Amino acid sequence: MADQQDQVPTAEATIAVRRVVGRQPIIGLDDHVIGFELIQAPTAGEADGSRPEDRATVTDATGEMPLDVDLLFGDTLVYCRPGEGLLTGTDPVSPPSRRTVLEIPADACLDTAAVDRCRTLVDMGYELALDKFAWHHGIEELLRIASVVKIEIANHPREQVQGLVARCQEYDVTLLADRCLHEDDLAWGAENGFRLFEGPAVQHPVELSGATLAPSALAQVQLAAELLDEDMDFGRIEEILSHEPALVVQVLHLASLGAGGGLRREVHSVREALVFMGADRLRQWAALTVLGRQVANPRTDALALALVRARMCELLAPSGGIERGFAFTAGLLSALDLLLGVPITEVAERIDVDHELAEAAFAREGRVGKLVRLVMEYQDAAAAGVHIRSELGNVELVATMAFAWAMSHINAMERAPAAA
């Protein structure tokens, strides 16, 4: 977790910064993530019909926002909207440093200069995804150079969608089913020619009926709960680790590396390893490694969502007189249903944590529970492209900070070699 000196900067200091508060996964037919789009914080000035695809532009991701694109996306595709200047020709264009898919509104085909600009972008190495797809006069010009066509399936009659699919079939494009709200949308899309999928049904997969925590998963989640407890009990942690040899190997390996993966040292016991690692490194390991490896569904970005939620709770805690570490832990544990793919009621029954922590994380009750609930409501609204009035103050800036923090830790975890 962060140093206690972390502060939330004032809005005045960042008034020109467009606030990126999350990323939305795009999956293929095999349920695995093939790319991400950034979610941009909706503002009160936007139209009520704002969509979750109102995301960051290329400039936001590579210039105005202090975020590293590789850190945000790893080896996956970058999906983002070009700034208006890229299509009008007022902004200079550089070749992409990685595979980048620019979302171009389908009605750009009505502007000859914009179509020419799109050809230039493709020649420079960008790929195009036609967004908000509808059939316009001259759309064929864009279909000949596009790689992806995004068709909304949530708010359009199935027959209308099928008609658009049929008209796209003669072009070399991949169809992306956009705004999939339910599992039925994913299944129908796969049966009707779509190969990529995006929307709430992807980010929040349904809980499997009758799903339960396996003993090994329960032990690892319980270990994470113990490690995240402010009153960390090394004896209790040793007891849990005694039944999890694979985790013991990881702890010994990490402790032997020293802080920051530096000078190697001899570690002779689990207790010694725990002491060497220290509370902060143990908590990071719990959040990223133990909980991260329990993610039940490969298509969800649940770990990122959970870490952003936890970090937001931590940053917002002092303004409510709440202890930061407690708020972080409650926020993280509140997302266990998404991480594990089981109902939160079962998580509450099976995970043995302090009563006050359980009330906050699982029932969202009490002062800390209210903070967790408000952060959850903000995350849901941002993902849906809806602005809500929140009691949390400058929540968009906090969400941006939390997102950057979470991505840096996830990126570090994915780069780290797995313990033998």
For residue 129, name the pLDDT band (cuts at 50, 70, 90). very high
Cβ of 301: how many Cβ atoms within 10 Å? Answer: 20
| Percent of the chain residues topping a pLDDT of 90 | 30
- Per the listing, tokens 């200079």 go with 92
User: Which spans in 171-244 are helix H?
Assistant: 183-191, 200-203, 215-228, 234-241
Cβ of 356: how many Cβ atoms within 10 Å? Answer: 15
- What contacts 102, CB < 8 A, 6 or more positions away? 58, 80, 81, 82, 86, 121, 126, 127, 128, 129
Please provide the DSSP assignment of 94-139 as one string. Answer: ---SS-EEEEEEGGGGG-HHHHHHHHHHHHTT-EEEEES----TTH
Burial of 154 per CB tally in 10 Å (0-12, 13-18, 19+): middle
Amino acid of residue 263: L
**Contact by Cβ (8 Å): 371, 320:** yes
Least confident of 214-218, 244-248, 252-256: 214-218
Mean pLDDT of the chain: 78
Q: Is the confidence at residue 205, as pLDDT, over 70?
A: no
Q: Is the confidence at residue 5, as pLDDT, over 70?
A: no
pLDDT at residue 163, as a whole number: 96
pLDDT at residue 216, as a whole number: 64
Half-sphere exposure (Cβ direction) of 4: Cα atoms closer than 13 Å: 3
Backbone angles phi, psi at 374, to 5 degrees: -65, -40
Residues 252 and 272: their CA atoms lie apart, in Å, by 9
pLDDT at residue 46, as a whole number: 45
pLDDT at residue 65, as a whole number: 41
List, for residues 63-106, the tens digit of each pLDDT value: 334 455 555 566 678 788 776 677 877 777 777 777 789 999 99
Which range of 116-125, 164-173, 178-187, 276-285 scores highest in mean pLDDT? It is: 164-173
Least confident of 26-40, 201-215, 234-248: 201-215
Q: Is the confidence at residue 171, as pLDDT, over 80?
A: yes
List, for residues 28-66, the tens digit of each pLDDT value: 999 888 888 877 766 554 433 444 433 434 443 333 344
Angle 301-305-308 from CA coordinates, rounded to 5°: 140
Cβ of 243: how many Cβ atoms within 10 Å? Answer: 12
pLDDT at residue 139, as a whole number: 96
**Contact by Cβ (8 Å): 106, 131:** yes
Q: What own/partner pairs with CB < 8 Å and gap ≥ 24 does 71-76 have?
A: 71/407, 71/408, 71/411, 72/23, 72/36, 72/38, 72/407, 73/23, 73/35, 73/36, 74/411, 74/414, 76/33, 76/34, 76/35, 76/36
Domain boundaries, the chain: 11-203, 215-415
Distances (CA, A) of 326 to 4, 221, 330: 13, 17, 6
List, for residues 372-412, the tens digit of each pLDDT value: 999 999 998 888 777 777 888 888 889 988 888 888 777 66
- Which CATH code fits 11-203? 3.20.20.450
Residues 234 and 220: their CA atoms lie apart, in Å, by 15
pLDDT at residue 289, as a whole number: 67
pLDDT at residue 391, as a whole number: 86
Residues 32 and 13: their CA atoms lie apart, in Å, by 39
pTM of the model: 0.73
Judged by DSSP in three states, 169 sits in coil
pLDDT at residue 52, as a whole number: 40
pLDDT at residue 2, as a whole number: 43
